């Protein structure tokens, strides 16, 4: 048996990992690490849920904060697009407050921030949201919660962090991710050439075939 055949492929799911053989590195992508959904997933998602978190139905005022476009693709390990999957995000507003009854923060709630949104990946696995650049709140670095799932199935859940944010290294949830995998959870919020959004960020979800099996056989 050759030395290459004795090496195992790397498979990352929920933070676990094995080795990847060198010839497979270019052909296969590392899986996005999963993370906790946290306590603030909406109990009752708003009726006006869509992929623009910066506008609330009935109001012409945009949310406070740095408006940002977040986009990317949902792919499998071989880079094939996964079409027709529901992608959700949720996060606190620019004041550091979630739209959730368990958030006991003294901060005022931004009435113009939806706090939650969803979209469906297209034929190329692409998704897009308009939201705000995430902000910190006591105990947490800036982050966006995200889930990818099919209706009625167990979601893949993770968190998206801001590249270069100093508070990342003080965040217990982020620091529990093995150091080599942390870059897979980072998005760079760069200046955007857009009449509304001042920032844009790209983030790809890479899911395993095992997760696809969970979609088919497990309920939420």
- Tell me the pTM: 0.82
Q: How many CB atoms lie within 10 A of CB 32?
A: 25
> 3-class DSSP state for residue 69?
strand
Most confident of 2-11, 37-46, 71-80: 71-80
pLDDT band at 48 (very low <50, low <70, confident <90, very high): low
Average pLDDT, rounded, for the chain = 83
CA distances, 108 to each of 99, 115, 127, 208 (Å): 11, 14, 30, 40
User: Which whole number is the average pLDDT over 36-45?
Assistant: 88
pLDDT band at 215 (very low <50, low <70, confident <90, very high): very low
**Domains of the chain as residue ranges with CATH:** 30-217 (2.60.130.10)
Q: How many CB atoms lie within 10 A of CB 54?
A: 22
Q: Does pLDDT of 212 surpass 50?
A: no
- Report pLDDT for 44: 76
- In tens, the pLDDT along 182-203 reads 999 999 999 999 999 999 999 9
């Amino acid at each position: 048996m050759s030395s290459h055949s004795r090496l195992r492929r790397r498979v990352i799911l929920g933070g676990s990992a094995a080795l990847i053989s060198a010839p497979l590195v270019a052909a296969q992508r590392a899986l996005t690490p999963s993370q906790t959904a946290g306590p603030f997933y909406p109990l009752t998602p708003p009726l006006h849920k869509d992929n623009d978190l910066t506008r609330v139905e009935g109001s012409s005022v945009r949310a406070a904060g740095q408006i940002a476009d977040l986009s990317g693709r949902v792919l499998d390990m071989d880079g094939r697009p996964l079409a027709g999957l529901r992608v959700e995000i949720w996060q606190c507003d620019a004041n550091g407050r979630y739209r959730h009854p368990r958030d006991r923060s003294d901060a005022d709630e931004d009435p113009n921030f939806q706090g939650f949104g969803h979209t469906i990946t297209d034929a190329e696995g692409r998704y897009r949201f308009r939201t705000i650049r995430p902000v910190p709140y006591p105990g947490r670095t800036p982050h966006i919660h995200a889930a990818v799932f099919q209706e009625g199935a167990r979601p893949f859940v993770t968190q998206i962090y801001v590249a270069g944010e100093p508070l990342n290294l003080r965040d217990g949830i982020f620091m529990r991710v093995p150091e080599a995998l942390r870059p897979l959870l980072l998005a760079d919020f760069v200046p955007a050439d857009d009449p509304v959004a001042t920032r844009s960020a790209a983030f790809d979800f890479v899911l395993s075939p095992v997760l696809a099996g969970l979609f088919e056989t497990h309920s939420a």
